[in-house]
Amino acid sequence: MIIEIATEGGFGGIAAIPPKRIDLERQPADLRQALASAFAPAALTRMEAVSCPGCPDRLSYRITIIESGQARHCVTLSESQIPLDTLDLIDRV
């Protein structure tokens, strides 16, 4: 599984984080498991369902999941929709 993460918005509309492309197969086992859980389709669906008042004025994350033999899954989430532990994972990789 490949996870691509790009950001938009933030201070002055400037992306604060460079785009990331994470290949789960190249990650240590503990990090691979944490990423697979955090970015599983069900987890992304739960994040999308979180209400986010004021979202347009915050940093947003475009997350694309690429799995071999499957269609890409892409979501755009406000930073307030993403759990803190998942934001920490994004910072770690």
Distance CA 32, CA 57 (A): 32
Q: How far is CA 63 from CA 19, 74, in A?
A: 10, 6
Give the pTM: 0.84
What pLDDT is recorded for position 15?
55
> What are the residue ranges of helices labelled H in the chain?
29-38, 41-49, 84-92
Query: Residue 46's pLDDT is what?
Result: 93
Q: Who's near 80: CB < 8 A, 6+ residues apart?
A: 50, 52, 54, 55, 58
Question: pLDDT tens string for the chain (93 positions)?
Answer: 999 999 887 666 555 678 999 999 999 999 999 999 999 989 999 999 988 776 666 788 999 999 887 878 899 998 889 999 999 999 888
- pLDDT for 12 equals 60
